[in-house]
Amino acid sequence: MAPQSSPVSTLGEALGGPASVALPVTDPSHVGEARRRANGLGLTAGLSETERGTLAVVVTEAATNLARHASDGLLVLRAAGTPPSGVEILALDKGPGIRDLSKAMSDGFSTAGSAGHGLGAIRRMAGEFDLFSTPETGTALFARVNAAARAADDRLDRGTLGVVCLPVATERASGDAWTVERTARRTLVVLADGLGHGVDAARAAEMAIHTATKRVRHSPAQIIGAAHDAMRATRGAALAIAEIDLSEHRLTFAGIGNVSAVIVSPDGTQSLASHNGIVGHEMRTVHEFTYPWTGASCLIMHSDGIRSRWQLGAYPGLAAHHPALVAGTLYRDFTRGRDDATVLAVRVRET
Ligand SMILES: [Mn+2]
């Protein structure tokens, strides 16, 4: 974690813990639990009582839609920002899609019949909102309710970061951990997947993240080298680090082990090269590779709990949406379900 006095802002980090909370919502009886969990995250994120009231309405409406209309509804919640300054809600389902989007978005229209709320109300009440829906793939809804008292922190990752980080169902601790660190010139994106899963995997991944957060001005290869030394007493981890320098239009990447990284841009997709090995145990010299990067590029990194055979082109238009919808959609459709799963989607805007 970056010290408070540091000019470096930490946008979010899992540090081995479940950064996200997943709640299947397939029945109206699940809505209350979703609201309670969201309220707990709202307290963590410093939301006022009024803001938690807004959060309750947003979560209730999103969850009610899942319960009444969707198949395989899943709500993914997280307290976002460091320190947490908002609650992010992803409502994911596999169909049937929203037939008349403009009608569904009109305020006061509620297919759930719940006192005139609905998608229009979510959009109006949330600090951020986005939606991607097709009849073929289903719907992903993103909303964020921010703590006004911590607004200075919100500004940093608004619209630029999407993440789902969830432990395998049998574990409480996530063996995946991540962080996104931003300095004036560059954005550092770090994803570690501790060997296996559970608490020992989480400790290894945490050590990798800790090493990175202490060296945010070092190159990806230097950080991996330092992590290798620091992680000898741990189980070891796969580790991938991308450094995005927008002013140089360049992304520099180094990866060891099975973390996937892809740049999606209007020109197509570019897979980033990792080497075999286990950071902390078996590793040869770390190589860095550079790739072109523009304001229209989106970096997607994920652990091997997500199958790698996805094609963003199967979701026409999704790449232009909030990165949380990209992360949520890939999690929904490609999670293996037998390992911790993390997806990061990152855009870097000119400021
Ligand atoms: Mn894994």
pLDDT of residue 178: 94
Q: Which residues have a beta carbon within 5 Å of ligand 1, which is an ion?
A: 193, 303-304, 339
pLDDT of residue 23: 95
Q: Is 317 exposed, middle or buried, given 0-12, 13-18 or 19+ CB atoms closer than 10 A?
A: exposed
Q: 306 C-alpha to center of ligand 1: Å?
A: 9
Distance CA 77, CA 38 (A): 7
pTM, full prediction: 0.91
- Per-residue three-class SS string for 243-288: EEECCCCEEEEEEECCCEEEEEECCEEEECCCECCEECCECCCCCC
Buried residues in 242-280 as b, exposed as e (16+ CB within 10 A): bbbebeeeebbbbbbbebbbbbbbeeeebebebeebbbb
pLDDT tens profile 140-183: 999 999 999 887 655 556 678 999 999 998 888 899 999 998 88
pLDDT tens profile 20-57: 999 999 999 999 999 999 999 999 999 999 999 999 99
Give CA torsion, residues 261, 241, 332, 64, to 10 deg: -140
CA angle, 325 then 141 then 162, to 5°: 30
Q: 349 C-alpha to center of ligand 1: Å?
A: 30
Q: 280 C-alpha to center of ligand 1: Å?
A: 16
pLDDT of residue 15: 38
3-state secondary structure of 121: helix
Distance CA 57, CA 257 (A): 42
Q: 276 C-alpha to center of ligand 1: Å?
A: 14
pLDDT of residue 163: 94
Q: 237 C-alpha to center of ligand 1: Å?
A: 9
Residue 92: CB partners within 8 Å, gap ≥ 6? Answer: 73, 74, 75, 76, 138, 139, 140, 141, 328, 329, 331, 332
Domains of the chain from N-terminus onward: 19-155 (3.30.565.10), 167-346 (3.60.40.10)
Residue 22: CB partners within 8 Å, gap ≥ 6? Answer: 74, 75, 76, 166
Question: Which of the residues in the chain have pLDDT under 70?
Answer: 1-18, 107-117, 152-158, 351
